[in-house]
Amino acid sequence: MKNGGDVTKKFVARMQNGEDGGNSPGRGTAVITRTKTRTKKPSLYRVLILNDDYTPMEFVIHILERFFQKDRESATRIMLHVHNHGVGECGVYTFEVAETKVSQVMDFARQNQHPLQCVMEKK
């Protein structure tokens, strides 16, 4: 279901008389301001890792287990997909979580002197 953001709607209602607390643009009419609270789904971002010729396969598997909560089997599957296709998805997150994951992976790869690249893209 598609939904907008928070919307303040003004409803024009016909009054029985003019006694509406001075909220009336004209005699016998009132403007009632109501704030409708609507939920807004956050934008989602894919976190991707890129293939290179130097990062050890075991290191990539470790990254997927440590930062993306993958079990050994799916970590291996994702790593091999990246190895064979050049790029692969580690997970899908809201903006700040995705940003944090990218930083964690890039920092950890750098600390271990591997050229592994990690990026995020809007879904």
Q: Which is nearer to ligand TYC, 50 or 97 (CB)?
A: 50
CA 52 and chain centroid, separation: 27
Tokens 């003019």, residue located: 18
Q: Are 23 and 31 in contact (CB under 8 A)?
A: yes
Report phi then psi at 99, rounded to 5. -60, -45
Q: Which chain residues interact with ligand TYC by CB under 6 A?
A: 49-53, 55-57, 60, 79, 82-83, 116
Taking the C-alpha atoms of residue 51 and residue 64, their distance in angstroms, rounded to an integer, is 14
CB of 92 to ligand TYC, least distance (A): 17
Q: Which is nearer to ligand TYC, 42 or 56 (CB)?
A: 56
CB of 50 to ligand TYC, least distance (A): 6
Tokens 């993958």, residue located: 70
CB of 44 to ligand TYC, least distance (A): 21
CB of 78 to ligand TYC, least distance (A): 8
Q: Which is nearer to ligand TYC, 89 or 99 (CB)?
A: 89
* Closest alpha carbon to 115 in 47, 59, 32: 59
Q: Are 56 and 112 in contact (CB under 8 A)?
A: no
Q: Which is nearer to ligand TYC, 30 or 82 (CB)?
A: 82
